[in-house]
Structure 1
Amino acid sequence: MSLNAVAHLNFTGQARAALEFYQSVFGGQTTVVTYGDFGMPAELPDATKVVFGRLTADNGFQVMAYDVPGTDGPAVPATPTTRRENGTTLTRERFFLSVRGETVDEVSPVWKGLAEGATVVEEFGPSQWAPAFGMLTDRFGVTWIVDVAAAHA
């Protein structure tokens, strides 16, 4: 038996846009099902929102997305919740998403794509523990760590 964990991101009306953005970064195919597809009357405000969304890329990357019903709001909090201060990361977030590759060339395009419209927490580049590491909060308020696996001796 094998198990895998897939991040399931909750949005306030931006799930479709987030999935389209992540598809532009990672490639792959999206699946989007709306509340209306599940029978919600079209005249209700949530009918076009995403009740089930998923991106699956050829390289194994997956993410799911959902619009919490009855919510509309900004994609990103007014005050960033993650920042670097005095060499440490301070946050109120319960989790970050991590994308790790084997080479700088492999993950650099991911960083560049996610960085479009993002707030950079720590610039992508060499670090003490990895050939490359960076942290950012994307335009949808999701904080990502992008890094390259360190070679093991």
Structure 2
Amino acid sequence: MSGGAMTTEMCPYLHPRGSAREALAAYRRALGGAEPAMTTYGSLGMDDPSVRDMVANAVLRTEVGGPLMVSDLPPGADEPAGVACLFGDDEGALRAAWDVLAEGAEVFQPLEPSPWGSLFGSLRDRWGVSWLVDVDGAAGAAG
């Protein structure tokens, strides 16, 4: 092994219901980042018109802490849509992301003070992906 620096990243891999392209556009608005790198099923040699233009894999390099991988599931695939967590201490950025993710979502827990001293919220977005948002220290408990 060389003595060079190595990095390891972990990221969520989401399978939004409906359109991965549409979900990616919203996630990019919520989380920032450049246009995602995208591979279609057609580019992998699948000529079936029902899947040819679907997203086989996309990587959004977000501005809030790492990559997010997204794909459409081919017809008949039965996998969970996924769960993603956003956390940190940048309340403005996390509130802005929450607002985008909450568009058309089923909100389970509004983004509000939690018993553990942060702002916390959970929702299932309009593509079936569950999101947990936790703003560390933002509940403003005078300590």
Q: TM-score, normalised by structure 2?
A: 0.78
Opposite residue 31 of structure 2, the aligned amino acid is: F
Q: C-alpha distance in 2, partners of 1:60/1:94?
A: 21
CA contact (8 A) 1:130 1:148 kept: no
Residue aligning to 2:39: 33
Residue aligning to 2:8: 3
CA apart distance, 1:58: 2.8
2:15 alignment partner, SS class: strand
Judged with a 3 Å threshold, the aligned counterparts in structure 2 of structure 1 residues 103 and 70 are, in CA distance, closer, same or farther, namely closer
Residue aligning to 2:3: none
Q: C-alpha distance in 1, partners of 2:46/2:115?
A: 52
Residue aligning to 1:129: 116
1:67 alignment partner, SS class: coil
Cα deviations across residues 110-136 of structure 1 (Å, max 9, x unaligned)?
A: 111111111110111111113311111
Q: C-alpha distance in 2, partners of 1:49/1:135?
A: 28
2:97 alignment partner, SS class: helix
Give the ranges of 4+ consecutive aligned residues of structure 1 lying more than 4 Å apart after TM superposition: none
Residue aligning to 1:90: none
Query: Residues 48-67 of structure 1 correspond to what in structure 2 (within 5 A)?
Result: 48-67=53-72
Structure 1, gaps ≥5 residues long: 73-92
Residue aligning to 1:88: none
Residue aligning to 1:115: 102
Is residue 112 of structure 2 the alignment partner of residue 106 of structure 1?
no
Is residue 22 of structure 2 the alignment partner of residue 17 of structure 1?
yes
Is residue 44 of structure 2 the alignment partner of residue 47 of structure 1?
no
Judged with a 3 Å threshold, the aligned counterparts in structure 2 of structure 1 residues 13 and 134 are, in CA distance, closer, same or farther, namely closer
Judged with a 3 Å threshold, the aligned counterparts in structure 2 of structure 1 residues 34 and 134 are, in CA distance, closer, same or farther, namely same
Judged with a 3 Å threshold, the aligned counterparts in structure 2 of structure 1 residues 94 and 31 are, in CA distance, closer, same or farther, namely closer
* Bigger fraction of residues in strand: 1
Q: TM-score, normalised by structure 1?
A: 0.74
CA apart distance, 1:106: 2.9
Opposite residue 69 of structure 1, the aligned amino acid is: P
Judged with a 3 Å threshold, the aligned counterparts in structure 2 of structure 1 residues 60 and 128 are, in CA distance, closer, same or farther, namely same
Query: Alignment RMSD, CA only?
Result: 2.6
- Structure 1, 113-122 or 61-70: larger mean CA deviation: 61-70
Q: C-alpha distance in 2, partners of 1:116/1:12?
A: 15
